[in-house]
Amino acid sequence: MKALTRHRRLAAIWSSRPGWRGWLSTVNHNDVGLMFLVTAFFYFLVGGILAMLIRAQLATPHSAFAGPEVYSQFFTMHGTIMMFLFAIPAIEGLAIYLLPKMLGTRDLAYPRLTAYGFWCYFFGGAMLLVALLFGIAPDGGWFMYPPLTGKIHSPGINTDFWLIGITFVEISAISAAVELTVSILKYRAPGMSLGRMPIFAWYILVTALMILTGFPPLILGSILLELERAFGLPFFQLELGGDSLLWQHLFWLFGHPEVYIIFLPAAGVISTILPVMASTTLLGYRWVVAAAVALAILSFGLWVHHMFTTGIPHMGLAFFSAASTLVAIPTAVQVFAWIGTMWKGTPRLHLPMLHILGFFATFVIGGLTGVMVAVVPFDWQVHDTAFVTAHLHYVLFGGFVFPILAAVYYWLPLVSGRKRYFRLGEVAFALIFTGFHATFLAMHWVGLMGQRRRISTYAPEDGWTAINLISSVGGFVLAFGLAMVLVEVVLHAVVRHHSARNPWRAGTLEWATTMPAPAYNFASLPHVDSREPLWDDPGLPVRLARGEGYLGDPASGRRETLMVDVATGVPEQHVVYPTNTHLPIVLAAVTGLFFLSILIKVFWLTPVAVAGVVALGWLWVWRLGSRNDLGEQPIGRDLRVPNIAESDRPPGWWGSAFLLVADGTLFGSLLFGYAFLWTVAPGWPPPAFANPSPFALVAASAGAALGIAGGVFSIRNNRDGKGPVPGLLMALGGMLGLGVALMVFLAGAPSPSSHAYGATLWVLGSYGLLHAVLAGLMLAFLLSRHRAGYISSRRRAELAIAPVWIGYACVTTALILLAAYLPGLAT
């Protein structure tokens, strides 16, 4: 088959529908990645405009530009948009677009989930944008501290928009994190062992794992605060056994790792682009991977350094101060690796390199002021001043915006197939760099002089006027620079100026595709023997286009790729992807209906939306699989591997495992909150404990035993040709037992609105019940699938997934009953 014929056939199989309607049904990572990026940069624009409004207000003393109510919405939405609607989605978009190409595969693990995540982000972001346009945007600051954000002090709907909108958007982040983790571990080119992975993939893997463990505390905190606001469950009300410090713990358990979730992918961009700009390889690849892992995990031990002024005992402060200084070491390992890479290579001052140099200057200053605020006495002096605002902008703008602009200029030819014609970027860089430093260097200064952050105005006698004016002028220079970048990207899209393939002479696989990259990425999948395959084998792109790699025959008409062994990259399974569908956008819309019903307090709509989500979720999974045994599939190069339907570890198993990491973190955070209130909050122990119910304990024990045994029997019996039905029914009975036990537990728990103890038990019980119902639904689904002929002794993959959820439901139910009943039994 000629390369052109192969291209046409593959394009017909993989492309989205033509025109704008195609955006609504596409599940291809090329489309969805770009949709993420375009939307994220739109929000960057909105957040930037808000920043200009803030600087306009602060440019002069006693400014009448905006009143304090509107100004509070400006700074809250600026922070919220930049953190949640720009930075994280931009990372997701970049990773979604690039990773399959870098990993030498055709798409991510769950294409429909990619699209679902995008639409959740789109609708959730739109919710916040609508609030901004109607003047009812959140106004409690981007970290939403209660009691300010409690019902008493913020009675309007503004805070609810934040809590519900952000939780909705976080579904997108968790979806992307599961997607990226499984894709990096299991969807790589054959031969690409862990040690041969592109460094960007390592950074994204680490970041995705951080999202799975960093975001759940925030999701939990948002749920608890919304429950308090909507139904009066007093988690943060001191007089009813709550504590507003619980919110600070939950928020910063997310908030500090969040800084590294933003920085690490940017560091991945630097580690990818810098060696190419220096025409060499990255110095100390293995040490950089170790440093990224260390930084990621150490960052989870820093959260209390945002709370140094809350009256925590000295030893607690010392723990977090020590941990905060320690992160400088893995950061420095990376910085020295980058400097060493430049030293051993021959750096070329192309535009991406300018932004990397901008990153170095800015981020290192941000890092040094970070070490300053890690020292407790200094932090006490500058806490909540403009110094901290300046520090965080040096870290986030330096550590994220400069690298992302480097990424834009570096990968733009890959997206468009064109090169720059107008040379606006160099001028734009100069404006951005000088404008940024004028704005925020001045802000350090005014912060040290005592200017509080978030103040809407100040008096001339404060002595801050000239510095604020310099800062505002710098802000507008920065805005002009960023506007020039936007103009250049638009011109790039308009002016046809073709680029040669691999214009930077890079070694990674994304440049082995044609430019712009086709929907299927590679006509056949490469076999990888090194970290820079294109440097070692310049003829690889041509051979792949000729179909000389894996899966080069498009005759089946299916979207195919391979799953590999995690460590070695040996091909293990043959994958057939689902095709274009409107299911993701419809499911996201119905999910949005659920959140909207809570926001506008139309509670009759909530169960309708939940039923819709369940029905669509059922349909989502039903469309997968086959009614026939497929046997081993030929994948090219004389190899055959089983299809995923005929394996013990299908993609759904991997996805479930990592989703449960996030779920378990949420549950762990809930238990942490319970323990925190018990030990720290005034008003504990509660007036009355929950009465231990022997019936609930017996029902839960019997349910757990039945559930686990049923799951095991269903797999074993099916493998032996006896069918899974008895085991599935047994497991279903087990989940029923768990459900009954938890309902009895909830019925016997104290009132949820009278004390934080009852509120916590209510949330714990509901959490357990939700998981028992979820596992029950999965078992009912499997019974239907077996009846419809989708499960056989060979096609056993689906049976492997439910036991993971059954086990989780059993363990969490046991912990819930233990946590709830133990204090009562002990007294």
Partner 1 sequence: MTDLLRILVSPVAWLAAFSAVYGLHGVLCSMMLDATVFGMSRSRLVLALAFVVAVLLQAGLLAMLYSTRYGAAPGFARVVSRASGWTGLVATIWTLFPTLAVSTCP
Quick note: the x/- pattern for partner 1 over 458-497, rule CB under 8 A, is ----------------------------------------
Classify burial at 687, counting beta carbons within 10 Å of its beta carbon; exposed 0-12, middle 13-18, buried 19 or more: exposed
Near partner 1 by CB under 8 A: residue from 3, 12, 318, 818: 318
Minimum separation from the CB atom of position 254 to partner 1 (A): 15
Binding part of the chain for partner 1, among 288-296, 344-352, 464-472, 571-579 by CB under 8 A, reads 288-296
Look up residue 433 and give its DSSP letter.
Answer: H
566 binding partner 1? (CB under 8 A): yes
Near partner 1 by CB under 8 A: residue from 18, 313, 557, 694: 313
- Pick between residue 330 and residue 650 the one whose CB is nearest to partner 1: 330
62 binding partner 1? (CB under 8 A): no
User: According to CB under 8 A, which residues from 158 to 187 bind partner 1?
Assistant: 185
* 731-741 b/e (C-beta count within 10 Å ≥ 16 → b): bbbbbbbbbbb
Strand partners, 525: 550
Near partner 1 by CB under 8 A: residue from 319, 336, 445, 618: 319
- In the structure encoding, which two tokens stand for residue 665, read together? 């973190």
- Pick between residue 253 and residue 585 the one whose CB is nearest to partner 1: 253
Strand partners, 634: 640
Q: How many residues bind partner 1 (CB under 8 A)?
A: 31
- Pick between residue 401 and residue 681 the one whose CB is nearest to partner 1: 681
Minimum separation from the CB atom of position 672 to partner 1 (A): 8
Minimum separation from the CB atom of position 314 to partner 1 (A): 5
- Pick between residue 15 and residue 568 the one whose CB is nearest to partner 1: 568
Near partner 1 by CB under 8 A: residue from 141, 316, 634, 807: 316
Near partner 1 by CB under 8 A: residue from 135, 156, 195, 687: 195
Quick note: the x/- pattern for partner 1 over 659-688, rule CB under 8 A, is ----------------xx--xx--------
Near partner 1 by CB under 8 A: residue from 4, 64, 133, 315: 315
**DSSP of 574-639:** EEE-----SHHHHHHHHHHHHHHHHHTT-TTHHHHHHHHHHHHHHHHHHTSS-SS---EEEEETTE
Minimum separation from the CB atom of position 310 to partner 1 (A): 13
Could you check whether the bond before residue 516 is cis, i.e. omega within 30 degrees of 0?
A: yes
330 binding partner 1? (CB under 8 A): yes
- Pick between residue 323 and residue 512 the one whose CB is nearest to partner 1: 323
Near partner 1 by CB under 8 A: residue from 490, 500, 567, 822: 567
Q: What are the percentages of helix, strand and coil residues in the chain, rounded to 5?
A: 70, 5, 25
Near partner 1 by CB under 8 A: residue from 1, 294, 486, 614: 294
Binding part of the chain for partner 1, among 311-319, 498-506, 579-587, 803-811 by CB under 8 A, reads 311-319
- CB atoms closer than 10 angstroms to residue 454: 16
224: left (phi > 0), else alpha (psi -120 to 50), else beta?
alpha
Q: Which residue has the tokens 């949640």?
A: 84
CA 713 from centroid of its chain's CA atoms = 36
Quick note: the x/- pattern for partner 1 over 612-651, rule CB under 8 A, is ----------------------------------------
Near partner 1 by CB under 8 A: residue from 3, 38, 152, 322: 322
CA angle 710, 716, 721 (to 5 degrees): 120
Look up residue 81 and give its DSSP letter.
Answer: I
Binding part of the chain for partner 1, among 151-159, 295-303, 448-456, 497-505 by CB under 8 A, reads 295-303
Residue type, 471: S
Which residues are CB-contacts of 818 (< 8 A; sequence separation ≥ 6)? none
Segment 715-719 long-range contacts (CB within 8 Å, at least 24 positions apart): 715/796, 715/799, 715/800, 715/803, 718/791, 718/793, 718/796, 718/799, 719/793, 719/796
326 binding partner 1? (CB under 8 A): yes
- Pick between residue 65 and residue 676 the one whose CB is nearest to partner 1: 676
Rounded alpha-carbon distances, angstroms, from residue 131 to 38, 138, 159, 700? 21, 8, 10, 45
193 binding partner 1? (CB under 8 A): yes
500 binding partner 1? (CB under 8 A): no
Binding part of the chain for partner 1, among 286-294, 475-483, 494-502, 795-803 by CB under 8 A, reads 286-294
Answer yes or no: are the C-beta atoms of 143 and 162 closer than 8 Å. no
- CB atoms closer than 10 angstroms to residue 42: 14
Using DSSP's 3-state secondary structure scheme, residue 573 falls into strand
- Pick between residue 301 and residue 617 the one whose CB is nearest to partner 1: 301
- In the structure encoding, which two tokens stand for residue 117, read together? 């995540």
Minimum separation from the CB atom of position 62 to partner 1 (A): 43
297 binding partner 1? (CB under 8 A): yes
Minimum separation from the CB atom of position 311 to partner 1 (A): 11
Q: Which residue has the tokens 């834009």?
A: 408
Give the N- to C-terminal CA distance of the chain in Å, as an integer. Answer: 79
Minimum separation from the CB atom of position 288 to partner 1 (A): 10
501 sits in which H/E element: none
Binding part of the chain for partner 1, among 122-130, 240-248, 287-295, 776-784 by CB under 8 A, reads 287-295
Answer yes or no: are the C-beta atoms of 253 and 213 closer than 8 Å. no
Near partner 1 by CB under 8 A: residue from 194, 586, 639, 777: 194
Binding part of the chain for partner 1, among 94-102, 300-308, 466-474, 730-738 by CB under 8 A, reads 300-308
Rounded alpha-carbon distances, angstroms, from residue 399 to 19, 392, 404? 37, 10, 9
* 226-254 b/e (C-beta count within 10 Å ≥ 16 → b): bbbbbeebbbbbeebbbbbbbbbbbbbbb
Angstrom distance (rounded) from CA 523 to CA 520: 7
Q: Which residue has the tokens 């019997």?
A: 702
Minimum separation from the CB atom of position 82 to partner 1 (A): 28
Q: Are strands 639-642 and 632-636 parallel, antiparallel or unpaired?
A: antiparallel
Minimum separation from the CB atom of position 330 to partner 1 (A): 7
Task: Say how many CA atoms lie within 13 Å of 114 toward its Cβ.
Answer: 36
Look up residue 799 and give its DSSP letter.
Answer: G
Minimum separation from the CB atom of position 110 to partner 1 (A): 19
602 binding partner 1? (CB under 8 A): no
- Pick between residue 59 and residue 660 the one whose CB is nearest to partner 1: 660
- Pick between residue 28 and residue 299 the one whose CB is nearest to partner 1: 299
Angstrom distance (rounded) from CA 750 to CA 721: 49
Angstrom distance (rounded) from CA 59 to CA 53: 10
Near partner 1 by CB under 8 A: residue from 287, 336, 378, 618: 287
Binding part of the chain for partner 1, among 26-34, 215-223, 317-325, 632-640 by CB under 8 A, reads 317-325
**DSSP of 134-159:** TT----STTTT-TTTTSTTT--SSHH
- Pick between residue 194 and residue 483 the one whose CB is nearest to partner 1: 194
Max Cα distance, the chain (Å): 86
570 binding partner 1? (CB under 8 A): no
User: According to CB under 8 A, which residues from 74 to 113 bind partner 1?
Assistant: none
- CB atoms closer than 10 angstroms to residue 600: 12
Minimum separation from the CB atom of position 294 to partner 1 (A): 4
Near partner 1 by CB under 8 A: residue from 141, 301, 733, 807: 301
**DSSP of 111-124:** HHHHHHHHHHHHHH
Which residues of the chain form contacts with partner 1 (CB under 8 A)? 185, 193-195, 286-287, 289-290, 293-294, 297-298, 300-301, 304, 313-316, 318-319, 322-323, 326, 330, 566-567, 675-676, 679-680
